[in-house]
Amino acid sequence: MGRVNNKVILVTGAARGIGAAHARLLVAEGAKVVITDILHIEGEALAAQLGESAIYVRQDVTQSGEWTEVIASAERRFGALHGLVNNAGIANVAPLEEFPLDQWHKTIAVNLTGVFLGMQAALPAIRRAGGGSIVNVSSVEGLRGSAGLHAYVASKFGVRGITKSAALEVAASGVRVNSIHPGLIATPMTASFESSLFPVPLGRPAEPQEVSQAVLFLLSDESSYLTGSEIVIDGGLTIGVPRKCPAPENIF
Ligand SMILES: NC(=O)c1ccc[n+]([C@@H]2O[C@H](COP(=O)([O-])OP(=O)(O)OC[C@H]3O[C@@H](n4cnc5c(N)ncnc54)[C@H](O)[C@@H]3O)[C@@H](O)[C@H]2O)c1
Protein backbone atom coordinates (compact mmCIF):
# COMPACT_ATOMS: atom_id res chain seq x y z
CA MET A 1 0.00 0.00 0.00
CA GLY A 2 1.61 3.25 -1.14
CA ARG A 3 1.56 6.51 0.79
CA VAL A 4 -0.57 8.21 -1.90
CA ASN A 5 -2.44 5.16 -3.15
CA ASN A 6 -4.93 5.96 -5.94
CA LYS A 7 -4.57 9.70 -5.53
CA VAL A 8 -4.50 11.53 -8.85
CA ILE A 9 -1.81 14.20 -8.88
CA LEU A 10 -0.85 16.76 -11.50
CA VAL A 11 2.81 17.86 -11.57
CA THR A 12 3.73 20.79 -13.83
CA GLY A 13 7.19 21.13 -15.38
CA ALA A 14 7.75 17.43 -14.70
CA ALA A 15 9.53 16.37 -17.90
CA ARG A 16 12.90 16.67 -16.17
CA GLY A 17 14.64 17.85 -12.99
CA ILE A 18 12.88 17.91 -9.64
CA GLY A 19 9.40 17.55 -11.19
CA ALA A 20 10.41 14.29 -12.88
CA ALA A 21 11.65 12.97 -9.52
CA HIS A 22 8.26 13.86 -7.99
CA ALA A 23 6.46 11.95 -10.75
CA ARG A 24 8.65 8.86 -10.23
CA LEU A 25 8.24 8.79 -6.45
CA LEU A 26 4.48 9.47 -6.56
CA VAL A 27 3.92 6.59 -9.00
CA ALA A 28 6.10 4.32 -6.83
CA GLU A 29 3.86 5.26 -3.88
CA GLY A 30 0.65 4.32 -5.69
CA ALA A 31 -0.49 7.60 -7.30
CA LYS A 32 -1.75 8.27 -10.81
CA VAL A 33 0.30 11.16 -12.17
CA VAL A 34 -0.37 13.72 -14.88
CA ILE A 35 2.96 15.09 -16.10
CA THR A 36 2.86 18.41 -17.93
CA ASP A 37 5.60 20.49 -19.55
CA ILE A 38 6.72 22.35 -22.66
CA LEU A 39 9.49 19.75 -23.24
CA HIS A 40 7.34 17.23 -25.09
CA ILE A 41 9.95 14.61 -26.03
CA GLU A 42 11.24 14.31 -22.46
CA GLY A 43 7.71 14.41 -20.99
CA GLU A 44 6.38 11.69 -23.28
CA ALA A 45 9.45 9.50 -22.61
CA LEU A 46 9.00 9.80 -18.84
CA ALA A 47 5.28 8.95 -19.01
CA ALA A 48 6.10 5.91 -21.18
CA GLN A 49 8.68 4.74 -18.60
CA LEU A 50 6.13 5.09 -15.78
CA GLY A 51 3.50 3.03 -17.63
CA GLU A 52 -0.25 2.95 -17.00
CA SER A 53 -0.06 5.16 -13.91
CA ALA A 54 1.14 8.27 -15.78
CA ILE A 55 0.17 10.39 -18.75
CA TYR A 56 1.92 13.32 -20.36
CA VAL A 57 -0.09 16.38 -21.39
CA ARG A 58 1.41 19.35 -23.25
CA GLN A 59 1.03 22.52 -21.21
CA ASP A 60 2.45 25.99 -20.94
CA VAL A 61 1.49 27.01 -17.38
CA THR A 62 1.15 30.68 -18.38
CA GLN A 63 -1.84 29.94 -20.66
CA SER A 64 -5.15 29.81 -18.76
CA GLY A 65 -6.99 27.94 -21.56
CA GLU A 66 -4.43 25.14 -21.43
CA TRP A 67 -5.08 24.72 -17.69
CA THR A 68 -8.76 23.96 -18.39
CA GLU A 69 -7.72 21.27 -20.89
CA VAL A 70 -5.16 19.69 -18.55
CA ILE A 71 -7.60 19.40 -15.63
CA ALA A 72 -10.20 17.89 -17.98
CA SER A 73 -7.60 15.35 -19.24
CA ALA A 74 -6.75 14.32 -15.67
CA GLU A 75 -10.39 13.72 -14.78
CA ARG A 76 -11.10 11.97 -18.09
CA ARG A 77 -8.16 9.57 -17.78
CA PHE A 78 -8.07 8.91 -14.02
CA GLY A 79 -11.58 9.92 -12.86
CA ALA A 80 -10.63 12.69 -10.39
CA LEU A 81 -7.94 15.13 -9.26
CA HIS A 82 -6.70 15.10 -5.65
CA GLY A 83 -3.42 16.98 -5.82
CA LEU A 84 -1.47 19.62 -7.71
CA VAL A 85 2.26 20.36 -7.59
CA ASN A 86 2.95 23.78 -9.11
CA ASN A 87 6.57 22.95 -9.97
CA ALA A 88 7.28 24.57 -13.39
CA GLY A 89 9.81 27.37 -13.03
CA ILE A 90 12.57 29.32 -14.72
CA ALA A 91 15.46 31.46 -13.45
CA ASN A 92 17.59 34.20 -14.96
CA VAL A 93 20.34 36.43 -13.60
CA ALA A 94 21.28 40.04 -14.38
CA PRO A 95 22.22 43.17 -12.43
CA LEU A 96 19.12 45.13 -11.39
CA GLU A 97 19.80 48.10 -13.66
CA GLU A 98 20.30 45.85 -16.69
CA PHE A 99 17.57 43.33 -15.96
CA PRO A 100 15.66 42.91 -19.26
CA LEU A 101 11.96 43.76 -18.91
CA ASP A 102 10.90 40.84 -21.11
CA GLN A 103 12.80 38.42 -18.81
CA TRP A 104 11.14 40.01 -15.79
CA HIS A 105 7.66 39.50 -17.30
CA LYS A 106 8.46 35.95 -18.43
CA THR A 107 9.76 34.84 -15.03
CA ILE A 108 6.79 36.32 -13.18
CA ALA A 109 4.43 34.72 -15.74
CA VAL A 110 5.84 31.19 -15.36
CA ASN A 111 6.79 31.16 -11.67
CA LEU A 112 3.95 33.20 -10.14
CA THR A 113 1.06 33.63 -12.61
CA GLY A 114 1.40 29.92 -13.46
CA VAL A 115 0.86 29.05 -9.78
CA PHE A 116 -2.15 31.39 -9.56
CA LEU A 117 -3.73 29.94 -12.72
CA GLY A 118 -3.01 26.41 -11.54
CA MET A 119 -4.77 26.86 -8.22
CA GLN A 120 -7.71 28.61 -9.92
CA ALA A 121 -8.15 25.78 -12.43
CA ALA A 122 -7.52 22.84 -10.09
CA LEU A 123 -9.59 23.87 -7.07
CA PRO A 124 -13.05 22.97 -8.47
CA ALA A 125 -11.75 19.52 -9.48
CA ILE A 126 -10.05 18.92 -6.11
CA ARG A 127 -13.28 19.93 -4.35
CA ARG A 128 -15.23 17.52 -6.60
CA ALA A 129 -12.84 14.78 -5.42
CA GLY A 130 -13.75 15.58 -1.80
CA GLY A 131 -10.65 17.63 -0.95
CA GLY A 132 -6.91 17.31 -1.40
CA SER A 133 -3.56 19.02 -1.32
CA ILE A 134 -1.74 21.67 -3.35
CA VAL A 135 2.03 22.07 -3.15
CA ASN A 136 3.47 25.31 -4.51
CA VAL A 137 7.18 25.27 -5.29
CA SER A 138 8.89 28.36 -3.95
CA SER A 139 12.61 28.38 -3.07
CA VAL A 140 15.03 29.55 -0.43
CA GLU A 141 14.96 32.64 -2.68
CA GLY A 142 11.37 33.09 -1.50
CA LEU A 143 12.73 33.56 2.03
CA ARG A 144 15.72 35.86 1.46
CA GLY A 145 17.31 38.16 -1.13
CA SER A 146 19.76 37.03 -3.81
CA ALA A 147 21.80 39.47 -5.93
CA GLY A 148 20.97 39.23 -9.62
CA LEU A 149 17.99 36.88 -9.21
CA HIS A 150 15.52 39.79 -9.02
CA ALA A 151 12.53 38.39 -10.94
CA TYR A 152 13.10 34.91 -9.49
CA VAL A 153 13.21 36.22 -5.90
CA ALA A 154 10.12 38.39 -6.46
CA SER A 155 8.21 35.47 -8.00
CA LYS A 156 9.19 33.02 -5.25
CA PHE A 157 8.23 35.47 -2.45
CA GLY A 158 4.93 35.83 -4.33
CA VAL A 159 4.43 32.05 -4.40
CA ARG A 160 5.03 31.91 -0.65
CA GLY A 161 2.45 34.68 -0.10
CA ILE A 162 -0.32 33.39 -2.37
CA THR A 163 0.08 29.97 -0.76
CA LYS A 164 -0.99 31.47 2.56
CA SER A 165 -3.90 33.51 1.17
CA ALA A 166 -5.16 30.46 -0.74
CA ALA A 167 -4.74 28.19 2.30
CA LEU A 168 -6.94 30.50 4.37
CA GLU A 169 -9.62 30.69 1.72
CA VAL A 170 -9.95 26.98 0.92
CA ALA A 171 -9.30 25.36 4.32
CA ALA A 172 -13.01 24.95 5.05
CA SER A 173 -13.50 22.95 1.84
CA GLY A 174 -10.91 20.32 2.78
CA VAL A 175 -8.09 21.59 0.57
CA ARG A 176 -4.63 22.15 2.07
CA VAL A 177 -2.10 24.48 0.40
CA ASN A 178 1.58 24.53 1.39
CA SER A 179 4.84 25.80 -0.07
CA ILE A 180 8.22 24.12 -0.28
CA HIS A 181 11.52 25.99 -0.29
CA PRO A 182 14.36 23.98 -1.83
CA GLY A 183 17.97 25.20 -1.59
CA LEU A 184 20.64 24.05 -4.05
CA ILE A 185 19.36 21.00 -5.93
CA ALA A 186 21.36 19.23 -8.66
CA THR A 187 19.24 19.76 -11.83
CA PRO A 188 19.69 21.30 -15.30
CA MET A 189 18.57 24.64 -13.79
CA THR A 190 21.59 24.81 -11.47
CA ALA A 191 24.15 23.05 -13.71
CA SER A 192 26.02 26.32 -14.36
CA PHE A 193 25.81 27.68 -10.78
CA GLU A 194 29.04 28.42 -8.90
CA SER A 195 28.73 26.10 -5.88
CA SER A 196 31.01 28.30 -3.70
CA LEU A 197 28.16 30.84 -3.68
CA PHE A 198 26.12 28.29 -1.72
CA PRO A 199 27.81 27.47 1.63
CA VAL A 200 25.55 24.53 2.45
CA PRO A 201 26.10 23.29 6.03
CA LEU A 202 25.43 19.70 4.93
CA GLY A 203 28.26 20.20 2.42
CA ARG A 204 26.57 19.20 -0.85
CA PRO A 205 23.68 19.99 -3.17
CA ALA A 206 20.56 17.84 -2.78
CA GLU A 207 19.44 15.19 -5.22
CA PRO A 208 15.99 15.94 -6.70
CA GLN A 209 14.43 12.94 -4.93
CA GLU A 210 15.32 14.46 -1.56
CA VAL A 211 12.89 17.27 -2.40
CA SER A 212 10.30 14.76 -3.63
CA GLN A 213 10.16 13.17 -0.16
CA ALA A 214 8.76 16.45 1.24
CA VAL A 215 6.29 16.76 -1.64
CA LEU A 216 5.13 13.17 -1.09
CA PHE A 217 4.52 13.95 2.58
CA LEU A 218 2.51 17.10 1.76
CA LEU A 219 0.36 15.23 -0.79
CA SER A 220 -0.26 12.29 1.54
CA ASP A 221 -2.74 12.16 4.42
CA GLU A 222 0.27 12.06 6.80
CA SER A 223 0.33 15.89 6.56
CA SER A 224 -3.40 16.23 7.35
CA TYR A 225 -2.83 19.13 9.81
CA LEU A 226 -0.44 21.19 7.64
CA THR A 227 -1.79 24.09 5.65
CA GLY A 228 -0.21 27.44 4.82
CA SER A 229 3.09 25.97 5.99
CA GLU A 230 6.59 26.30 4.57
CA ILE A 231 8.90 23.30 4.36
CA VAL A 232 12.54 24.32 3.83
CA ILE A 233 14.71 21.64 2.17
CA ASP A 234 18.10 23.33 1.98
CA GLY A 235 20.71 21.36 3.94
CA GLY A 236 20.81 24.28 6.39
CA LEU A 237 21.66 26.92 3.76
CA THR A 238 19.37 29.61 5.17
CA ILE A 239 20.12 29.13 8.88
CA GLY A 240 23.60 30.66 8.80
CA VAL A 241 27.20 30.16 7.77
CA PRO A 242 28.61 26.75 8.76
CA ARG A 243 31.62 27.01 11.09
CA LYS A 244 33.27 25.20 13.97
CA CYS A 245 32.38 26.16 17.52
CA PRO A 246 34.72 29.01 18.56
CA ALA A 247 36.94 28.52 21.65
CA PRO A 248 35.04 29.56 24.84
CA GLU A 249 37.56 32.36 25.59
CA ASN A 250 36.58 33.99 22.30
CA ILE A 251 32.94 34.14 23.31
CA PHE A 252 32.91 35.16 26.98
N1 LIG B 1 17.22 23.37 -8.78
C2 LIG B 1 17.21 24.10 -7.68
O3 LIG B 1 18.25 24.28 -7.03
C4 LIG B 1 15.93 24.73 -7.18
C5 LIG B 1 15.95 25.36 -5.93
C6 LIG B 1 14.79 25.93 -5.46
C7 LIG B 1 13.62 25.87 -6.19
N8 LIG B 1 13.62 25.25 -7.42
C9 LIG B 1 12.37 25.23 -8.15
O10 LIG B 1 12.01 23.89 -8.45
C11 LIG B 1 11.24 23.86 -9.65
C12 LIG B 1 11.87 22.86 -10.61
O13 LIG B 1 13.18 23.31 -10.94
P14 LIG B 1 14.30 22.36 -11.56
O15 LIG B 1 15.56 22.66 -10.84
O16 LIG B 1 13.82 20.98 -11.67
O17 LIG B 1 14.46 23.05 -13.00
P18 LIG B 1 14.43 22.42 -14.46
O19 LIG B 1 14.80 23.54 -15.36
O20 LIG B 1 15.22 21.17 -14.51
O21 LIG B 1 12.89 22.04 -14.62
C22 LIG B 1 11.89 23.00 -14.77
C23 LIG B 1 10.84 22.46 -15.71
O24 LIG B 1 9.82 23.45 -15.90
C25 LIG B 1 9.48 23.45 -17.27
N26 LIG B 1 8.88 24.72 -17.69
C27 LIG B 1 9.51 25.90 -17.88
N28 LIG B 1 8.64 26.81 -18.33
C29 LIG B 1 7.42 26.20 -18.41
C30 LIG B 1 6.13 26.60 -18.80
N31 LIG B 1 5.89 27.85 -19.24
N32 LIG B 1 5.12 25.70 -18.76
C33 LIG B 1 5.35 24.43 -18.36
N34 LIG B 1 6.55 23.98 -17.97
C35 LIG B 1 7.58 24.85 -18.00
C36 LIG B 1 10.81 23.19 -17.98
O37 LIG B 1 10.60 22.78 -19.33
C38 LIG B 1 11.44 22.13 -17.10
O39 LIG B 1 11.07 20.83 -17.49
C40 LIG B 1 11.23 25.30 -10.19
O41 LIG B 1 10.04 25.95 -9.77
C42 LIG B 1 12.42 25.93 -9.50
O43 LIG B 1 12.31 27.32 -9.38
C44 LIG B 1 14.75 24.68 -7.93
Q: How many angstroms separate the CA atoms of 186 and 174, rounded?
A: 34
Helix axes 114-128, 150-170, angle to 10 degrees: 20
CA of 185, closest atom in ligand 1 = 3
Q: Please give the distance, rounded to the nearest whole angstrom, from the Cα atom of residue 185 to the centre of ligand 1.
A: 11
Question: What does the pLDDT read at residue 252?
Answer: 63
Query: What is the dotted CATH code of the domain comprising 8-250?
Result: 3.40.50.720
Check pLDDT > 90 for residue 246: no
Task: For 135-177, write each residue's pLDDT tens digit.
Answer: 999 999 999 999 999 999 999 999 999 999 999 999 999 999 9
Please determine, for residue 195, whether its predicted confidence score (pLDDT) is greater than 80.
Answer: no
Q: What is the pLDDT of residue 19?
A: 98
Q: What is the pTM of this model?
A: 0.97
- How do the domains of the chain map onto residue ranges? 8-250
Cβ-in-10-Å burial (0-12, 13-18, 19+) of 204 comes to exposed
pLDDT of the residue at 185: 97
For the annotated catalytic residues, the residue numbers are 152
* Residue nearest atom 1 of ligand 1, based on CA coordinates: 185
Work out the average pLDDT over 178-205.
91
Per-residue pLDDT of 14-70, as tens digits, reads 999 999 999 999 999 999 999 999 999 999 999 999 999 999 999 999 999 999 999
